[in-house]
Amino acid sequence: MTDHIADLLTRIRNSIMAGKTEFIIPSSKMKEVILDILQREGYITEVKNTTKNNQKFLRVVLAPHRYPTHVRQISKPGQRIYVKSKEIPRPLRGLGLIIVSTSKGVVSGQEAIKKGLGGELICEVW
């Protein structure tokens, strides 16, 4: 597996389409930060660390009444998309969520705009 973020977003989409509210994914720091942002925005209710056969996994529970209907990766391993703070898109006129990797860490698009930080666009969710 070369693209762990794409795997995370695909598992979110697949669990929504299958009607499941929880799934398990191999753990990484980047996935934990992205899931933390989604949890703060209300798309996810719970993220727990679990261990199985000395491998770390994340057990993710989606919010039953506010699950994302659109999850799309923007930057990919073959094409990275970088923007300045004034160029950060606002999906659904500000109702959607953009996740940005900045020099100060991974934050939502609104936080990056407030702090005046640009960076790599990771994904958009609404």
Domain ranges of the chain: 4-62, 71-125
84: pLDDT strictly greater than 90: yes
Q: What is the pTM of this model?
A: 0.95
Residue 67 has pLDDT above 90, yes or no: no
**For residue range 97-116, what is the model confidence (pLDDT) as tens digits?**
999 999 999 999 999 999 99
Instruction: Kindly give the interhelix angle for 4-18 and 29-40, rounded to the nearest 10 degrees.
Output: 40
Same fold, 4-62 and 71-125: no
> Which tokens go with 43?
């798309």
Average pLDDT in the 44-50 region? Answer: 97
Residue 90 has pLDDT above 90, yes or no: yes
4-62 CATH choice from 3.60.20.10, 3.30.1370.30, 3.40.50.920, 3.30.420.40:
3.30.1370.30
Fold classification of 71-125 (topology level): Dna Ligase; domain 1 (3.30.1490)
Residue 1 pLDDT exceeds 90:
no
Query: Is the sign of the CA dihedral 87, 3, 33, 19 positive or negative?
Result: positive
Q: Tell me what pLDDT residue 98 has.
A: 98
The 3-state DSSP class for residue 45 equals strand
pLDDT number for residue 8: 98
Whether 83 shows a pLDDT value over 90: the answer reads yes
